[in-house]
Structure 1
Amino acid sequence: MRRASSKKTSSNSTTSTNSSAMDLFRSASGKAATKELERIDQLFYSYSNESSGMIDPEGIEYLCSDLEVEHTDVRILMLAWKMQAEKQGYFTLEEWRKGLKALHADTIVKLKKALPELENEVRRPSNYVEFYSYAFRYCLTEEKQKSIDIESICELLELVLGSQFRQQVDLFIQYLKTQIDYKVINMDQWMGFYRFCNEISFPDFNDYDEELAWPLILDNFVDWVKSKQS
């Protein structure tokens, strides 16, 4: 009986020790997370506008300067995607926290180091479709706006697809700037061009079938390219 009692006491002692160690770990982790959040907030306030309580276009320019990137660098758009920023050119505190916590970046040095990793994350096919779609929505600056003017679309295409599909993007931009039928591009047309780049052989278009559900603008684009080739 004594032996059983001894074992029980030993077991309770071990459990108590493990529990204490876990409590200490949780406490330390909680304090570290709190400190990290404080530093993330401090970084936010170093760029935010006091009157609006947000990082505005001017603040983003200062941020880009400290990150040593151009404000037109695609990685800034990727950073906005990571934050799930809703308004073009503005970051709220909650968006900032969401993005920087995910990147484990509570200083400008850490954020700068995180940019290449962020780019690799976005470039994964499973994420890129979401990013490409987000890029369009991010540029909808007016309430109930559903389309983007041709000039802005050309700039956006260059930014998000230019490095991957150089020839297709160059030709499509050339077409968009010379055609007169379309003044704006909608989401369906935007996503259609991404699928077009990924699925259709270029520049012969041998596997392009106009009978399939492609946006009409792409039918016209293919006809335009073929007329230039003949």
Structure 2
Amino acid sequence: MGHCLSCFKNQANADITTSQRKKDEMTEIVATHQVPAVMVSDYHQEEPLLQENESVTCYRNSANLQNANTLNSFGESCHSDITLQRTQPSAEKAPKLFYQKLPSIPRTMSSLGSSEVRVSDSKINQLFDQYKDSLEDAILAEGIENLCNDLQLNPDDFKVLVLAWKLNASQMCRFTKIEFIQGLKSMKTDSIKGIQQKLNEITSELKTDSEHFKDLYRFSFKFGLDVSTGQRILPTDIAVVLWRLVFTINEPPILDRWLNYLEKNNHIRGIPKDTWYMFLNFCEFVGNDLSMYDDTEAWPSLFDDFVEYENDQMNQNVSKNDMKIQD
């Protein structure tokens, strides 16, 4: 009908005995598996021991409610110690041990991967102010002459044309502020010495890079026009000067004969844009002696007249030589 006091005492003694026995077993389990703290380099070797450690958790979970309080104070502590040492390195120890093995990163590492040359806007503006006209916000003829002197160049030097090309100057003897600043930024320089170095590099590239040379050649026509008057045809005298200048490098064999023809024929007042552009193709096509010229091709009429004139000159020379032989 009920439980006597002795039954409760016996049951309590049994529980205490069982609890003590289980506590001894837990102590034996923990003692068996205790290991020193693991370094990060050996961390991957501890995985097999984790499976054995699971018995502690399972054993603790299977305990009855009365004994759970006793085991928790001991088992939780044991379980936590093993877990921190073997499965998850503590936030204070493991990262420190790990990062000690990495080489230190230089503070300037972020700049090592960038080869971009930075220029100073203030230096470019100061350079512009040094040469700009006193009345107009642009570098005019006098300022360009002073700039050429500092660059150790003559105003009619090929490199001055290259500089105007890189500045994308809209007309001769005039560099606007926007052209000058944007041009030097594109060249990645902000000093006289830097401009000199860049002009040397670009000039060397133009000797072998035909596409860049073509771009310079086409620019030269626009550069020679007087945009203030809306000029669309290049005056012959200006064209002759620009042809001699732009062909300072890679001079075609027929250039002198072509320019002599233009200078002798005063009726040729100007050079249209298509004639200027196609002259480069004309030089590549006709060769050294005009023997490859085909008058059935769609060449500008000025080229036909030039070839006819040259052939007449050649025939006259042949006739004169024949007459000398007969004499």
Q: Normalised by the shorter chain, which TM-score bucket?
A: 0.7 to 0.9
Equivalent residue number for residue 175 of structure 1: 261
SS for the counterpart of 1:88 is coil
Matched, 1:219 2:304: yes
Matched, 1:2 2:88: yes
Give the CA deviation at 1:33. Answer: 3.6
Equivalent residue number for residue 148 of structure 1: 234
Identity %: 26
Q: How many equivalent pairs are there?
A: 220
Equivalent residue number for residue 55 of structure 1: 139
- TM-score, scaled to structure 1: 0.83
CA-based RMSD = 3.0
Give the CA deviation at 1:192. Answer: 1.6
Give the CA deviation at 1:72. Answer: 0.5
Give the CA deviation at 1:21. Answer: 6.3
- Residues in 2 aligned to 1:190 and 1:174: alpha-carbon distance in whole angstroms: 16
Equivalent residue number for residue 156 of structure 2: 72
Tell me which amino acid in the other structure corresponds to 2:268. Answer: Y
Equivalent residue number for residue 110 of structure 1: 194
Give the CA deviation at 1:155. Answer: 1.1
List aligned pairs for 1:118-157, cutoff 5 A: 118-123=202-207, 124-142=209-227, 143-157=229-243
- Residues in 2 aligned to 1:48 and 1:138: alpha-carbon distance in whole angstroms: 20
Give the CA deviation at 1:101. Answer: 2.4
Matched, 1:189 2:265: no
Equivalent residue number for residue 164 of structure 1: 250
Give the CA deviation at 1:37. Answer: 2.1
Tell me which amino acid in the other structure corresponds to 1:89. Answer: C
Matched, 1:92 2:176: yes
* 1:165 and 1:197 in contact (8 A); partners too: no
- Residues in 2 aligned to 1:29 and 1:158: alpha-carbon distance in whole angstroms: 38
SS for the counterpart of 1:210 is coil
- TM-score, scaled to structure 2: 0.60
Which stretch of structure 1 is more off in the superposition, 160-169 or 144-153?
160-169
- Structure 1 segments unaligned to the other structure (5+ residues): none
- Residues in 1 aligned to 2:167 and 2:122: alpha-carbon distance in whole angstroms: 17
Give the CA deviation at 1:102. Answer: 2.9
Tell me which amino acid in the other structure corresponds to 1:106. Answer: D
- Structure 2 segments unaligned to the other structure (5+ residues): 1-86, 316-327
Distance 1:63 1:19, change over 3 A: closer
Which stretch of structure 1 is more off in the superposition, 110-119 or 163-172?
163-172
- Residues in 2 aligned to 1:189 and 1:73: alpha-carbon distance in whole angstroms: 24
Task: Give the structure with higher Rg (CA).
Answer: 2
